[in-house]
Amino acid sequence: EPDTTCGGSIFNHDHVYFVHPITKQRLLIASYWGAGLRIVDVSEPPMIADPFGISWPPEVGRWMGCPSADDGWYGPDGGGHANMTPEEWLDSEQGNDNIHYAVPYEHLVCNGISEYVPQAEWPSDCGSGPDDPGDGVNWRHYTIIAPEYGSNPSHTGFLWTIDTTDPAKPFLVSKWRLPGEGTLANGSKHPQHYIPGGYIFSPHNGDTGVNGHVYWTHYHAGSWVTDHGHIWEEIVWENGVPEPDRGFQAIEQLAPTHTIGYYLPAGPDWIDDPATALGYDMADCWASCMIPFDWGLQYDPRGFVMISEMVSGIYVVQFDEDFDPRYNYPAMWSIEASED
């Protein structure tokens, strides 16, 4: 609905489908540019064409930085926004607006672990799991959203961590940007990395691993790994205890998102002069004359990340910390040997 966008542009971009691990709803996580994050329940899609929208799947939740209703969760006193004015939320030079990609966790996270970790290794505050009467609240579900900027003189944009444990009451719990600061053409420092002529450091596509890890491509800045697994424990709550029913209004200080590392594709290292040999200058210089230009990314639960670099190809990067033991496939050669 246009009246729920704070005046932002309504531009649906990338969407991700998943089954919510608590509610079991089949949800569509939709990136809607200035209209922010939209959560749509597609559990029971209409069986016949409905051009008038009478039986379209309902929106069950949303998140933008500004209030988008007169009252309730999205009203000025509600927890489903970040107390921004519409002007602040739609100001890309502050790292806002332009929500281009969103990716939900497929599982719950508690103090740096997931349900895939053996229970004997769980921290004590994770109790017996999400249904624990005392500690179940510490098992959280997150959705990560990010903007895209083709140009921006002041910012490269945030990764926003939205708590979607209750998809009808999403709220902001953490923000992350590329670490460090920028350098302007005159040599002076800029408090943010920005997007100078020709180079783009914007977020683009992302994926989630296990135990709170997130992967994201950032165009010419390469691909980055961040840890969101301890957010719930590191939030500073106004009253000293978690109050998810109040959402953002109960938070005195957002939790940090921790940087784990990054990878910068550099072209084939077995070619002496890959720029000349592969004809980088024959491509569209908006992207391809400068390496790296990381576009797509996919997490492989066997402990790898597949990174699509626009010119030089697909990079398979090993990251043992995110090996998922459920996918411990034996090498094919060992299977064949045993059959012989």
Widest pairwise Cα distance in the chain:
71
Average pLDDT, rounded, for the chain: 89
pTM for the predicted model, two decimal places: 0.92
Bigger pLDDT: 337 vs 19? 19
> Domain map of the chain by residue range?
2-339
Per the CB < 8 A criterion, the answer to whether 145 and 38 are in contact is: no
| pLDDT surpassing 60 at residue 281 | no
User: What is the sign of the dihedral through the CA atoms of 225, 255, 196 and 183?
Assistant: negative
Would you call 198 helix, strand, or coil by DSSP?
coil
Q: How many angstroms separate the CA atoms of 113 and 233, rounded?
A: 12
Distance CA 79, CA 248 (A): 5
Place of tokens 């933008």: 64
At residue 324, the pLDDT reads: 85
What pLDDT does residue 48 have? 84
* Per-residue pLDDT tens digits for 157-209: 999 999 999 999 999 999 999 998 888 878 888 888 877 666 788 999 999 99
* Share of the chain residues as helix, strand and coil, in percent rounded to the nearest 5: 15, 30, 55
What number is the average pLDDT over the span 51-76? 92
pLDDT in tens, 110-144: 999 998 899 999 999 999 999 999 999 999 999 99
The C-alpha atoms of residue 280 and residue 278 are separated, in whole angstroms, by: 6
Rg (CA), the chain: 21
Q: Is the backbone peptide bond immediately before 292 cis, with ω within 30 degrees of 0? A: yes
Distance, in Å, from the CA atom of 211 to the CA atom of 229, rounded to the nearest integer, reads: 6
Q: Looking at residue 335, what is its pLDDT?
A: 57
- Which structure tokens are listed for 78? 């509600």
pLDDT in tens, 309-327: 887 789 999 988 888 888 8
d(CA 282, CA 288): 9
The reported pLDDT for the residue numbered 185 is: 79
The Cα 294–Cα 219 span in angstroms is 4
What's the whole-number mean pLDDT along residues 45-58? 83
Helix H or strand E segment including 71:
none
Higher-pLDDT residue of 30 and 185 is 30
Instruction: Assign 337 a pLDDT band (cuts: 50, 70, 90).
Output: low
